Chain A
Amino acid sequence: MATTASHETSHGHHEESFWRKYVFSTDHKVIGIQYGLTSLVFLFFGFTLIMLMRWQLAYPGEPIPIFGFLFGEETMPGGVMLPEFYNQLGAMHGTIMVFLGIVPLAVGAFGNYVVPLQIGAPDMAFPKLNMASYWVFFCGGVVMLASFWFPGGAAKAGWTSYPPLANIETTGQTMWLIGMTFLITSSLLGAVNFLTTIIQLRAPGMTYWRMSFFCWSQFVTSFLLLLAFPPLQAAGILQLMDRVGGTSFFMPTGLVVSGQALDIAGGGSPLLWQHLFWFLAHPEVYVLILPALGIVADIIANNTRKPLWGFKSMVYALIFLGFMSFIVWAHHMFITGMGTAISTFFQLTTMIISIPSVIILSALFISLWGGAIRFTTPMLFALGFLPMFGIGGLTGLPLGLAPPDIHLHDTYYVIGHFHYVVAPGTIIAMFAGIYYWFPKMTGRKMNDTLAKIHFWGTIICMNLIFMPMFIQGMAGVSRRLWDAGAQYTFAEPTLHWNVTMSHAAWLMGIIQFIFIWNLFYSIKKGEKVSDNPWEATTLEWSATTSPPLGHGNFEVVPTVYRDAYEYSVPGSSKDFTPQNEPGEKESVREEA
């Protein structure tokens, strides 16, 4: 709430200090880039954890060459990973990837940088809250990382933190809960900010129906963040009370651990945690995927040079998806014995929620039909996203029905399923977004050849990692085994895949350095491009290339005259008509 009387924010020529401009900035573009860089670091860190684990899975009990000896006696005596440390890595891999990697990248980075530009706003509605949101997120990340150095190490009860296990864990779990409180606060501040910005700060003429699909996806995502995270906060408070205050919210009466009855009051229920947790965590899945769909939709419209097919249906599907995501959570809990009536309800809603996802994906596929497709780098990633997300989505169907889920629950099949959604799905879409908006942020393009190597390397490796997981999962191999399942004879025939998968994972780690190099090299040395290198229609390309940081976005408030994707308008001299271009032939749709 800056005072209107303040003259600071209007384009004065005063110089801001380095700290004010780049570190504690209230400008949405700077904050977006801060979010982007931080979350990319976390993504790579989370990936490093899994690269360590993949050694243990491929060669159980053998010392890790070179890297293994960098760790202490408490975690890797003689370079051999202890089961306790394996569990820490597993829990923190999930937590870091979801809460510190993808969500801040998808929402914090792209949402912050792109949404105000796309709706023609000078900044976010609450710039100071925006800054607070980033720094609270940063503190949450620090707490999470610091937990590795606490006695007993980081949390090891999985990213789902199921009690009673999580309740009797070492201090790392308390740190996890405190870290999550920071992250939830951060996402709350962000969600309020995005929603207010989109509702209040749309430029004149920018009706809801003229917003890009990306803005729509951020809009629905923000609602999910706003309403789904608080129940996890509630659950976190209860678990914190259990751990610190000695209560028994999640501890049943007569609980025996390692042959000893615990000295607790009892009367609680571990199921309660699962309900509260999945009430967040299922909408969370859509928080991960919706911004990715938004990015891909923008890029596909831009590179097929025609409007999205069925834009309105896509938006309705998106809203319906957002709503439905709140009433499917218990499909994660079919084997908890919660009763067939409840199972039936959640199977039904789960089958229903697949419909809007299929509508959006089909609309994107049909959009390709008859398009003059340009195979630019972002388009390559966007096209890669479509079938990968398709595999991820379709393999989820058997998990949404109780009978097959009983067989597949907690196996590698589940891991394969959701990694197809978030890794070759969301992360590939995030890369597409980085390649797509990089010219807007820097005024330069990233190198195409390196990007293509990065694309093919990453997507082939990802498939080599995740496809065999379906085979292992269907054989019944459980997901949380330190020895990868070597103790079970039924797992034997599928275990050789672990070697292939691990090598693919390490290769993919190496390939990411091409991306890192490309990213930093292109900031200074990339090919210079114009304001609108992709010849796109949405508003962010009407702003000057790399809008000056901290000085507003547009010289004058843009007025919007037409829909988001006016490509190849008949009778137009060029194949794209920016949204702020006035003309006789305005948008066909005039409503709302």
Chain B
Amino acid sequence: MEIPYTTTARPDTGLYNAKIGIWLFLASEVMLFGGLFSAYIFLRIGAPEWPGTILGENFASSFDVLSVPIGTFNTMVLIASSVTVVMAWAQLMLKDFKKFRYYMGLTILLAMVFLVVKGFEYNDKFVHGYFPAEGTFLAVYFTLTGLHGLHVLGGVVVMAYLWGPGAKMWETNPQQFTNRVEVAGLYWHFVDLVWIFLFPTIYLL
């Protein structure tokens, strides 16, 4: 017996298996980042000043430590990638595989831009001796953005697979391939959304 509803939707739920699976997975991810955000709130409430003293220098607000323009740029990059990943999926629905490749490639490129910019930001901190061990603010910054960065990296790997070797499925089972792109896209939106919460929380507040 085949496992039903791997590609087609179950009538009463209106969803195929992987779509429920990814939503549940994302619910779990919400709890993961929710836990980390709660930890941030908990520590911030207990802190006498924020970001406070780092390496003997006192900072009154987070944007004295972090670069808001760079963070804003990266936010724009991620939002743009969220748009392109929908475009990629839409092209598959329109049966235009070439354009799918174009938009998926663009999404991967934007994700990489985000990571490279993030890498420069990190490097800029490290050369000044700003390491996670230098205080709660930096610890929160590096841990949360680091974990988010890993999620971006994971997204890049999945999307690169769907762009490259995984795209062969378009020939054999276009419906399932479209589903895979949709599911990857849902994950990608979540990664984007986490950043949209992270950016103001860490950079601006």
Do A and B assemble together? Answer: yes
In the complex, A193 Cα to B7 Cα: how many Å? Answer: 16
Q: A126-B17, A279-B35 are in contact. Are A245 and B24 (CB under 8 A)?
A: no
Which residue on chain B has the smallest CB distance to residue A272?
B42
* Minimal beta-carbon separation of B184 from chain A (angstroms): 12
Q: A3-B169, A5-B172, A231-B32 are in contact. Are A196 and B21 (CB under 8 A)?
A: yes
In the complex, A237 Cα to B144 Cα: how many Å? Answer: 10
Question: Are B3 and A122 in contact, CB atoms less than 8 angstroms apart?
Answer: yes
Question: Are B2 and A4 in contact, CB atoms less than 8 angstroms apart?
Answer: yes
Q: A230-B35, A275-B42 are in contact. Are A191 and B21 (CB under 8 A)?
A: no
A366 an interface residue at 8 Å Cβ cutoff? no
Contacting residue for A272 out of B31, B43, B139, B147, CB 8 A: B43
Contacting residue for B21 out of A126, A231, A248, A279, CB 8 A: A126
The size of the chain B interface, using a CB distance under 8 A, is 48
In the complex, A227 Cα to B20 Cα: how many Å? Answer: 15
Interface of B is mostly: helix
A234 an interface residue at 8 Å Cβ cutoff? yes
In the complex, A327 Cα to B173 Cα: how many Å? Answer: 45
Which residue on chain A has the smallest CB distance to residue B45?
A269
Contacting residue for A200 out of B15, B35, B36, B43, CB 8 A: B15
* Minimal beta-carbon separation of B13 from chain A (angstroms): 6
Contacting residue for B1 out of A126, A191, A227, A557, CB 8 A: A557
Chain A residues 116 to 137 lying within 8 A of chain B, measured CB to CB, are 121-123, 125-127
What are the residues of chain A within 8 A of B31 when measuring CB–CB? 226-231
Q: A188-B25, A188-B28 are in contact. Are A246 and B3 (CB under 8 A)?
A: no
Contacting residue for B43 out of A9, A191, A201, A267, CB 8 A: A267
Question: Are B43 and A249 in contact, CB atoms less than 8 angstroms apart?
Answer: yes
What are the residues of chain A within 8 A of B28 when measuring CB–CB? 188, 191-192, 226-227, 229-230
Q: A196-B20, A196-B24, A231-B31 are in contact. Are A201 and B4 (CB under 8 A)?
A: yes
> Quick one: which of A2, A230, A279 has the most chain B CB within 10 A?
A230
* Minimal beta-carbon separation of B129 from chain A (angstroms): 13
Chain A residues 201 to 222 lying within 8 A of chain B, measured CB to CB, are 201
Question: Are A3 and B35 in contact, CB atoms less than 8 angstroms apart?
Answer: no
What are the residues of chain A within 8 A of B147 when measuring CB–CB? 237
Q: What 0/1 pattern do residues 26 to 54 of A give for CB contact below 8 A with B? A: 00000000000000000000000000000
In the complex, A265 Cα to B130 Cα: how many Å? Answer: 12
What are the residues of chain B within 8 A of A125 when measuring CB–CB? 3, 5, 17, 20-21
In the complex, A232 Cα to B136 Cα: how many Å? Answer: 20
In the complex, A458 Cα to B201 Cα: how many Å? Answer: 55
Contacting residue for A10 out of B1, B33, B133, CB 8 A: B1
B62 an interface residue at 8 Å Cβ cutoff? no
* Minimal beta-carbon separation of B68 from chain A (angstroms): 24
B75 an interface residue at 8 Å Cβ cutoff? no
Which residue on chain A has the smallest CB distance to residue B31?
A230
Q: A3-B176, A276-B35, A279-B35 are in contact. Are A245 and B3 (CB under 8 A)?
A: no
Question: Are A276 and B39 in contact, CB atoms less than 8 angstroms apart?
Answer: yes
Q: A230-B28, A267-B135 are in contact. Are A199 and B13 (CB under 8 A)?
A: yes
Question: Are A234 and B21 in contact, CB atoms less than 8 angstroms apart?
Answer: no
Contacting residue for A226 out of B27, B134, B142, B180, CB 8 A: B27
In the complex, A279 Cα to B42 Cα: how many Å? Answer: 14
Q: What 0/1 pattern do residues 543 to 563 of A give for CB contact below 8 A with B? A: 000000000111001000000
What are the residues of chain B within 8 A of A4 when measuring CB–CB? 2, 6-7, 173, 176
Contacting residue for A268 out of B15, B34, B43, B176, CB 8 A: B43
Chain A residues 231 to 254 lying within 8 A of chain B, measured CB to CB, are 231-235, 237-238, 241, 245-249
Chain B residues 147 to 199 lying within 8 A of chain A, measured CB to CB, are 147, 169, 172-173, 176, 180
What are the residues of chain B within 8 A of A553 when measuring CB–CB? 1
What are the residues of chain B within 8 A of A589 when measuring CB–CB? none
Question: Are B133 and A265 in contact, CB atoms less than 8 angstroms apart?
Answer: yes
Question: Are B35 and A231 in contact, CB atoms less than 8 angstroms apart?
Answer: yes
What are the residues of chain B within 8 A of A11 when measuring CB–CB? 1
Question: Are B46 and A227 in contact, CB atoms less than 8 angstroms apart?
Answer: no
Contacting residue for A122 out of B2, B34, B38, B131, CB 8 A: B2
What are the residues of chain B within 8 A of A9 when measuring CB–CB? 1-3
Chain A residues 1 to 33 lying within 8 A of chain B, measured CB to CB, are 1-5, 9-11
What are the residues of chain A within 8 A of B25 when measuring CB–CB? 188, 192
A175 an interface residue at 8 Å Cβ cutoff? no
Question: Are A200 and B1 in contact, CB atoms less than 8 angstroms apart?
Answer: no
In the complex, A241 Cα to B25 Cα: how many Å? Answer: 24
What are the residues of chain A within 8 A of B5 when measuring CB–CB? 125, 200-201
Question: Are A227 and B27 in contact, CB atoms less than 8 angstroms apart?
Answer: yes
What are the residues of chain A within 8 A of B35 when measuring CB–CB? 230-235, 276, 279
Question: Are B173 and A248 in contact, CB atoms less than 8 angstroms apart?
Answer: no
Q: What 0/1 pattern do residues 93 to 109 of B give for CB contact below 8 A with A? A: 00000000000000000
A296 an interface residue at 8 Å Cβ cutoff? no
A297 an interface residue at 8 Å Cβ cutoff? no
What are the residues of chain B within 8 A of A199 when measuring CB–CB? 13, 20
* Minimal beta-carbon separation of A372 from chain B (angstroms): 37
What are the residues of chain B within 8 A of A275 when measuring CB–CB? 38, 42
B143 an interface residue at 8 Å Cβ cutoff? yes
Q: A201-B5, A231-B34 are in contact. Are A195 and B20 (CB under 8 A)?
A: yes
What are the residues of chain B within 8 A of A269 when measuring CB–CB? 42-43, 46
What are the residues of chain B within 8 A of A1 when measuring CB–CB? 6, 17-18, 176, 180
Which residue on chain B has the smallest CB distance to residue A222?
B24
Question: Are B10 and A200 in contact, CB atoms less than 8 angstroms apart?
Answer: yes
Which residue on chain B has the smallest CB distance to residue A245?
B132
Which residue on chain A has the smallest CB distance to residue B15?
A200
B47 an interface residue at 8 Å Cβ cutoff? yes
What are the residues of chain A within 8 A of B27 when measuring CB–CB? 226-227
* Minimal beta-carbon separation of B37 from chain A (angstroms): 9
Which residue on chain A has the smallest CB distance to residue B33?
A234
Contacting residue for A233 out of B10, B32, B132, CB 8 A: B32
* Minimal beta-carbon separation of B33 from chain A (angstroms): 8
Chain B residues 40 to 63 lying within 8 A of chain A, measured CB to CB, are 42-43, 46-47, 52
* Minimal beta-carbon separation of A30 from chain B (angstroms): 16
Q: What 0/1 pattern do residues 523 to 565 of A give for CB contact below 8 A with B? A: 0000000000000000000000000000011100100000000
Question: Are B24 and A238 in contact, CB atoms less than 8 angstroms apart?
Answer: no
In the complex, A174 Cα to B3 Cα: how many Å? Answer: 40
* Minimal beta-carbon separation of B196 from chain A (angstroms): 19
Question: Are B21 and A192 in contact, CB atoms less than 8 angstroms apart?
Answer: yes
* Minimal beta-carbon separation of A547 from chain B (angstroms): 11
Question: Are A265 and B136 in contact, CB atoms less than 8 angstroms apart?
Answer: yes
In the complex, A195 Cα to B15 Cα: how many Å? Answer: 13
Given A126-B17, A245-B143, 11 additional A-B pairs, CB 8 A: A11-B1, A122-B3, A192-B21, A200-B17, A226-B27, A227-B28, A230-B31, A234-B35, A248-B139, A267-B43, A269-B43
Which of B's residues lie within 8 Å of A, judged by CB?
Answer: 1-7, 10, 13, 15-18, 20-21, 24-25, 27-29, 31-36, 38-39, 42-43, 46-47, 52, 131-136, 139, 142-143, 147, 169, 172-173, 176, 180
Can you name 11 A-B residue pairings with CB atoms under 8 Å?
A2-B6, A122-B1, A125-B5, A127-B3, A226-B31, A230-B31, A231-B34, A246-B131, A246-B132, A249-B139, A271-B42
